[in-house]
């Protein structure tokens, strides 16, 4: 009789059976070769202690193996979910990040807009316009693992959207399509998805929809947050965020920042190579 997989502890405290295929798939999605994914998965799996090891332990072990073996671009993409959480503690950098992704998709974008509704004014995280489409986007940011976006968020966003849409239509707005969107860096609960789909909302979360959640939006756009870089310290990342620098590509466009970060010579070269490999993969 085959041996049962060990029990691991999820971020929300739930205990589940370890599934090595999930780790393998995550590594392959991050650009690891099959050989590298097999090696890391075997090593990480061998160190799991049933009933004690957490999902964060598994992530950290895999990430450290990739980083120590000099697979920096793979490590950076593997840590994408954690890197997005690193944009906090406030949600504003995340709003800017989503705005940049939508710009890359051809939308005209405004971040942090006050919009008058029929009843009351509303602050909309991102307003995105392309052709006849006018999207009102809620960028729901979480900076802790294990926290899901529940049904209260699409409920609130939909009611806000109806108030704004009524005002727009009364003013004779020329857009044919008005859409409420919710973009989050974590998973949606099943009830949030059920409500959103029922009301015709667009929801983008981690691994949702299957055809292209937020992680695919990031990969397709080639816009990665500076928090995913393995060649920068946390202090350096915080300095960049404080200055409003969010994207890896911005560092290449603003090389004067290298000097402000105290980087020159080999360290600057390593950073440039990592950014190039992450953004071009």
Note down pLDDT in tens along the chain; length 281 residues: 668 899 999 888 899 999 999 999 999 988 899 999 999 999 999 999 999 999 999 999 999 999 887 788 888 888 899 999 999 888 889 999 999 999 999 999 999 999 999 999 999 999 999 999 999 999 999 988 888 999 999 999 999 999 999 999 999 887 889 999 999 999 999 999 999 999 999 999 998 998 889 998 988 888 999 999 988 999 999 999 988 899 998 988 888 888 889 888 888 888 988 888 888 75
Residue 132 lies in a domain: yes
Q: Domain of 257?
A: 224-280
The candidate with the shortest Cα–Cα distance to 7, out of 59, 48, 58, is: 48
Residue 76 lies in a domain: no
Residue 264, pLDDT score: 81
Residues 124 and 154 in one domain: yes
Residues 41 and 106 in one domain: no
Q: Is the dihedral of CA 220, 223, 226, 229 positive or negative?
A: positive
Going by C-beta distance under 8 Å and a sequence separation of 6 or more, which residues neighbour residue 239?
260, 261
Residue 80 lies in a domain: no
The candidate with the shortest Cα–Cα distance to 221, out of 229, 212, 230, is: 212
Number of domains in the chain: 3
Residue 111 lies in a domain: yes
Residue 79 lies in a domain: no
Tell me the Cα Rg of the chain: 21
Residues 233 and 275 in one domain: yes
Residues 110 and 217 in one domain: yes
Residues 108 and 165 in one domain: yes
Identify whether the C-beta of residue 53 lies closer than 8 Å to the C-beta of residue 6. Answer: yes
Residue 1, pLDDT score: 61
Residue 86 lies in a domain: no
Q: How far is CA 18 from the centre of its chain?
A: 24
Residue 73, pLDDT score: 82
Identify whether the C-beta of residue 187 lies closer than 8 Å to the C-beta of residue 214. Answer: no
Token pair recorded at residue 238: 């915080």
The candidate with the shortest Cα–Cα distance to 137, out of 167, 163, 157, 159, is: 157
pTM of the complete model: 0.84
Residue 203 lies in a domain: yes
Residues 106 and 197 in one domain: yes
Residues 205 and 269 in one domain: no
Identify whether the C-beta of residue 275 lies closer than 8 Å to the C-beta of residue 251. Answer: yes
**Domain of residue 264, CATH code:** 1.10.150
Residue 165 lies in a domain: yes
Residues 102 and 190 in one domain: yes
Token pair recorded at residue 99: 């705005």
Residues 269 and 253 in one domain: yes
Cis preceding-peptide flag for 45 (omega within 30 of 0): no
Residues 135 and 19 in one domain: no
Residues 123 and 194 in one domain: yes
């Amino acid at each position: 009789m085959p041996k049962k997989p060990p029990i691991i502890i999820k971020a929300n405290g739930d205990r589940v059976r370890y599934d090595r295929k999930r780790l393998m798939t995550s590594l392959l999605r991050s650009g690891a070769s099959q050989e590298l994914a097999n090696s890391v998965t075997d090593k990480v799996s061998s160190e799991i202690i049933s009933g004690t090891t957490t999902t964060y332990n598994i992530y950290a072990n895999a990430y450290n193996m990739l980083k120590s073996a000099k697979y920096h671009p793979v490590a950076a993409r593997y840590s994408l979910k954690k890197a997005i959480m690193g944009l906090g503690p406030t949600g504003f950098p995340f709003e800017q990040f989503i705005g940049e992704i939508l710009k890359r998709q051809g939308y005209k974008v405004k971040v942090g807009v006050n919009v008058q509704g029929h009843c009351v004014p509303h602050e909309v995280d991102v307003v995105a316009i392309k052709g006849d489409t006018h999207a009102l986007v809620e960028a729901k940011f979480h900076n802790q693992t294990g926290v899901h976006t529940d049904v209260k968020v699409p409920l609130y966003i939909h009611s806000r959207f109806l108030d704004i849409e009524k005002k727009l239509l009364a003013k004779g707005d020329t857009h044919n399509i008005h859409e409420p969107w919710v973009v989050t860096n974590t998973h949606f609960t099943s009830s949030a998805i059920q409500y959103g789909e029922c009301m015709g909302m667009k929801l983008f979360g981690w691994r949702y929809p299957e055809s292209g959640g937020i992680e695919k939006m990031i990969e397709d756009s080639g816009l990665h947050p500076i928090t995913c870089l393995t060649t920068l310290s946390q202090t350096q990342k915080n300095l960049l965020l404080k200055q409003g620098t969010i994207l890896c590509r911005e560092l290449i466009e603003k090389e004067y920042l290298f000097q402000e970060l105290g980087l020159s010579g080999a360290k600057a070269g390593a950073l440039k190579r990592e950014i190039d490999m992450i953004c071009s993969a």
